[in-house]
Amino acid sequence: MNKKKLTRYGSIILNLISENDVFLSAQEIYLKMRELSYPVGLATIYRQLQVLLDNHLIDAIKSESGEVIYKQCKKTSHHHHVICIKCGKSQEILEPEIELWTRRVAKKLGYLPMNHTIEIFGHCQQCQTP
């Protein structure tokens, strides 16, 4: 058994993430925790985020700028996201056909696909009308 358990701060972080509709970076979570007066260190944030990931309680993707951002998704199975580049709000993409597409394309080129990243960035409905 390689899995570490959720700790006090782990649950608090999970709550914080699950209340939010946007992807948050570890740094943002750290700041929010400090705002909420939890005397938590950044290292703990990173360590507990890893535990949450290992237990599939949250999802992580890479932002456009390259940092890892976290969110709790409704779908438990593999999926992708549309992310607003203005407000950060994201929605899950529920299109199984794309999984077949990646497999088909990879195989056509002689590759055995193991993994893929698909992210769509744009403006959400609210952020389109200023």
In the complex, the residues that contact a copy of itself under the rule CB under 8 A are 62, 64, 66, 68, 82, 84-85, 91, 93, 95, 97-98, 101-102, 105-106, 109-125, 128
Residue 43 binding partner per list a copy of itself, DNA, none, with a CB distance cut-off of 5 to 8 Å that depends on partner kind: DNA
In the complex, the residues that contact DNA under the rule CB under 7 A are 4-5, 7-10, 25-27, 38-44, 46-48, 50, 67-68
Those residues whose C-beta lies under 8 Å from the C-beta of residue 50, and which sit 6 or more positions away, are none
Nearest partner of 117 among 62, 70, 73, judged by Cα:
62
Those residues whose C-beta lies under 8 Å from the C-beta of residue 116, and which sit 6 or more positions away, are 102
Our CB check for a copy of itself shows the closer of 24 and 40 to be 24
CA 75 vs CA 64, 70, 78, 90: distances in Å: 22, 14, 8, 13
Our CB check for a copy of itself shows the closer of 12 and 119 to be 119
